[in-house]
A and B are shown apart, each in its own frame.
Chain A
Amino acid sequence: MNWRLFVGAALLLSACSSTVPHNTGVYLLVDTSGSYNRQVSKAEQIILFALSRLQPLDSFAVARIDTASFTEKNIIAKATFDDRPSTANQQKRAFASRVQKFVDESKAASYTDITGGLLQAIEFLNEKKPGRKEILIFSDMKEELDKGYVRNMPLDFKGFEVVALNVTKLRSDNFDPREYLSRLEAWRVKVEKGGGRWRVVNDLDRLDGLL
């Protein structure tokens, strides 16, 4: 009789335990092309902010956007934080040191393959299966592809939130602001057409709403 009760209680507990994941997956793309490479130190600030916000079992990856971004080689650092808070802290410290190294050694790329980076981000986060999927793009959002790179394909952003951070205005944007606005609009349409949510955060002092 007692073992039946025990089994019943165990079943009840297992039924009560939540199977819906509560964790967050964050993929941060850092544009290293041309003059935007100078902004990398700002990206470090965002990475550290994200690290301070992320909890155990959350996944975080930082990748660079360069000429060919659809590759694992572009991932600078990635981690799925351990369930134990102390181990998660150690992982965060190691992550921060890898990012620091990247910031110190970052070199400007010739082209900007944002779509490739997004594809890589989607693939990474879909593999991790987190409860919430965030793609952060630290870029001016101006895509420049090298010859031979095909990126005009639909992207599946279902369940993703895409946040463009620090979208700086280019010199040409100052001449014709419509270029800047149309660029952002094009990305918004692309993301929302793919089923995702689009957001732009330019004020890096107000990152509270992020994550």
Chain B
Amino acid sequence: MFMTSLLTITPWPVLSAAILLVLLIAALYLARHTAHQAIHAVTSALARGFRLASHSVAHAEERLAARNREVLLAAGRDAKERMVEREFARIADTTRKDLSNYPDMHRRLSEAIIRIEEDQEKAVEVPPEAPGWAKAVEVIAKLDARNAGAEILADIHKSMLKAHAEAMVDYRKASGERHGLLRKMMPDWRLIQETLGRVNKSVASVIERSLVIDRHMQDYETIVHGEDRALSVLSSSSLVHFFVSMLVLGVATAGAAVNFTLIARPMAEMVGGTNFIGVFRTADIAALVIIMVEISMGLFLMESLRITRLFPVIGALSDKMRVRMIGITFAILLLMASIEAGLAYMREVLLQDELATNALLRSDSTGALVNAHLWITTMAQMGMGFILPFALVFAAIPLETFVHSLRTVLGLMGIGVLRALALILRVLGNGLRHLGTLAERIYDLPLFVPLWIEARFAAAHALPPAIEDESLQEVRP
């Protein structure tokens, strides 16, 4: 309507349109400088804003990365400290075990050695030699006493034979005694060998542990120095821990769901089947609360056993208090598991009752028949009701891993998001700057005629001084 009226400013619409176009172009040309300035100002401001935002996000990303690095290193340090601590505890156990027996072992070794020494000394003693007849025979042989010397020599020979025989008997006796003593040494040698073997084994175990500690300590040092390799290893293992713990927690959740199904129906007998809290049945909430309490007890039990470290307060308790806590939490768990077994039995009874009632209401005589193997399912349900609370106790371990690795994973995700955001903002900033230039060109597009004229006009004005210069140059030489 407005356009139609505009086209009627002259009797000829085409002329009217031409006039309007010329006016429009003239207006645009006149406002060109201001429009360019406005476009430039707006796009530059936006581009600057985006660039600033990009810098800010990049800075936040750096801060988050640094924080993540600190957390990761701290977690790695903590984990390594725990490992080293555990290895030291094992060494301490080995040493304590061996050293407690050391005085006894030392005494037995000393006694065995003393016995061996004594026996050895005894074995060294030899019987006295026969008298030195050789010198007497030599002296008599030199005597010039004719036949008298021969008789004496014969007597000496006889005495020597006798002495030799006695000496041989003594020698054999002494040898036998020595052999006996040496035989007696054998158990002592074996004892010493066994004892030293045990010592060797213990020492080897300690050496093995010390090698493990060395390895852990090397890792610990790389973590303490904040090396990139350590960070990369920690980051990847954190991701692995996250997904594995998530999987195990999923399994635990399924177990909890089975547990819930086992006890939800019989809970209706206790708290009523039609009461509601909000939109949830009170019986369902009660069943859920029981399972949650069981999981909490499991957590406390694991904390008391120092298997997990989610609650520093429990970890810092004295050993006596911890043992008490272990007893109490285990007793509560046992009680709840027994209750669950009872509820599982009740569930089966209720189910049968309901089936029988429905069969009666359907006038179905087959429905009321009792399955002969029903006890198997009843027992299985009771067994599951009893075992599942204890099985859920172990959910504390993946939960701890999940909680610890979640921080790292969230940090990594945050870094990724911030990095992407910074990139997007930077691209937007640059894009806007170019968009400003493009907008200026588009603005100039319908003004090509006046711009061309302006360019020609400017060229015409710029030409005379150049000619003057040339003329001057020609004059100078």
A→B interface (CB under 8 Å): 13, 16-18, 22-23, 48-49, 51-52, 55-57, 83-86, 88-89, 92-93, 96
Contact = CB atoms under 8 A, between A and B. Distances in A.
B344 to A, nearest CB: 16
Contacts of A22: 274, 276
9 contacts: A18-B279, A22-B274, A23-B274, A49-B361, A55-B274, A84-B273, A85-B350, A86-B350, A93-B357
Contact of B354 (A48, A57, A85): A85
A22 B272 CA distance: 14
A83 B361 contact: no
B108 to A, nearest CB: 63
Q: Tell me the dominant secondary structure on chain A's binding face.
A: helix
A154 to B, nearest CB: 34
Contacts, number: 59
B278 A48 contact: no
B449 to A, nearest CB: 76
Interface string B345-362: 000011001101110111
B361 A96 contact: yes
B277 interface: yes
Contacts of B277: 13, 16-18
A14 to B, nearest CB: 9
Contacts of A48: 361-363
A95 B362 CA distance: 14
A89 B354 contact: yes
Contacts of A23: 274
Interface of B: 265, 268-269, 272-279, 282, 349-350, 353-354, 356-358, 360-363
A56 B276 contact: no
Given A52-B362, A89-B353, A84 B269 contact: yes
B157 to A, nearest CB: 118
A83 B276 contact: no
B276 A17 contact: yes
Contact of A96 (B269, B353, B360): B360
A98 to B, nearest CB: 13
Nearest to B282: A17
B404 to A, nearest CB: 30
A57 B274 contact: yes
Contacts of B363: 48
A18 B278 contact: yes
Nearest to A92: B357
Contacts of B279: 18
B268 A85 contact: yes
Contact of B274 (A49, A83, A86, A89): A83
Contacts of A52: 358, 361-362
B361 A86 contact: no
Given A56-B273, A88-B273, A92-B357, 11 more contacts: A17-B278, A49-B361, A52-B361, A85-B265, A85-B268, A85-B269, A85-B273, A85-B354, A86-B349, A89-B357, A93-B357
